[in-house]
Amino acid sequence: MPARILVVAAQPAISLQLGNMLRRDGYEIVTAADGPEGLRAWTAERPDLVACDNDLRGPSGMELVMRIRQAEGSGAHTPVILLGGSTEIDAKVAALRAGADDYLAKPVHPQELSARVRGLLARFGRAQPQRRATAGRVVAFYGAKGGVGTTTLAINTAIALRKKLQRNVCLVDANLQFGDHRVFLDLGPDSRSIVEAVSAGTAEIDMLRGAIVRHDTGVDLLLAPPSPDQAELISTEQHHLLKVIEILRGVYDHVVVDMDEHFDDHMLDVIGIADRLVVVLTADLSCVKNVRLVLQTMDQLQVPRERLMLVLNRSNAFTGISAKSVESVLKRPIEHQVVNDYRSAISALNSGTPFMAKRPDSALSKDVIELARLVDKPAAATVELRQLELSPVR
């Protein structure tokens, strides 16, 4: 049985983020929104570990830790990780004195949280998660506004990963109401979609196999529902999209997700699970304004900055705003630029044959191949944090 972890956090975004980080490692998650609810959940569930935000309504996380320690019987000990907003050593000392076994400053990096949790479970002899045979990477594409070319880049990057880098790839159309992949890929009336994958109210690998469409390029496709009303069959309460992507990442090297523009619960699930979040923009004023808001939202959701990648599409189109000006406004670099080649892009769209398949040697395709190489690499902080997974938690 996988370890059961109690996540206590007042802010839904933090609870969702922590839950998604830990679910992807195979843990069973129980949640609570404040100190009293957390204490009741601890009493009823007796979890293997508690991850608690210090910023709670009513009793703080630190006070909840002290109450858990007071309520524990002789010889019993539930490992607790306390999350706080300070990086100062005094905050960590205070947490440890209150009875916490570890302290992490927010925002929390997924690999660090994973390493700390595994270390504590090993130290106290608790159950370890059920590990996947493979651990694919989720690359999510998000457009700062409509029309910036997000779907085009997502589709062609998936093809580049498959054809040029020989990766096993599944492309997911997560615009559940108005997905365009059938049009972009000239799939005709094929009705298979994510609906078939969750038709029994859950997501299973056998059902997913029946929902997958194999494209001529070798990329597997999980399409959006063929009609907008069927999007309601994909439950946010049961986290259907999250569960589907989790299954896919256990089968594929890369799961490329073409996101919806709206930050609904499905998209928050995608953000929480994504290894790389590619934000696509163009150099125009309204788009830059939207990207600023997107980055602010990502900060609020505590998405680590190294997981974000800014990609400037149509980079050589004359808009009066340079890439350097965009970087200055956003206060972060643009990691990659894709050349403007409207003729190739619109021809590919109208023919239903992606330019990576139709003109793989074009300047546009070469930029997308380089983008595929970038997303194929782990985020910069991942290599540094691997040492944490090998070190005992002190």
Question: What is residue 290's predicted lDDT score, i.e. its pLDDT?
Answer: 95
pLDDT at residue number 128: 55
The tens digit of pLDDT for each residue in 7-33 reads 999 988 888 888 888 887 778 899 999
Tell me the pLDDT of the chain averaged across its residues: 86
Domains (ranges, CATH) in the chain?
4-131 (3.40.50.2300), 137-379 (3.40.50.300)
* pLDDT tens, position by position, 288-319: 999 999 999 888 887 888 889 999 999 888 88
> In terms of Cα–Cα distance, which of 40, 34, 70, 67 is closest to 52?
34
What is the Cα–Cα distance from 346 to 152, expressed in whole angstroms? 10
CB 279 within 8 A of CB 308: yes
Per-residue pLDDT, 204: 63
What is the predicted pLDDT for the residue at 386? 37
Out of 11-15, 18-22, 176-180, 390-394, the most confident range is 176-180
Going by C-beta distance under 8 Å and a sequence separation of 6 or more, which residues neighbour residue 118?
A: 25, 128, 129, 389
Pick the range with the lowest mean pLDDT from 73-87, 248-262, 326-340, 354-368: 73-87
Q: Which helix (H) or strand (E) holds 149?
A: none
The Cα 112–Cα 6 span in angstroms is 18
pTM for this model (two decimals): 0.68
d(CA 256, CA 249): 10
The per-residue pLDDT for 390 is 37
Q: How does residue 367 score in pLDDT terms, banded at 50, 70 and 90?
A: very high
The Cα–Cα gap between 203 and 56 comes to: 33
Tokens (6 digits) for 6: 């109690």
Contact 13, 107 (CB under 8 A): no
- Can you read off the two tokens belonging to residue 229? 């009303």
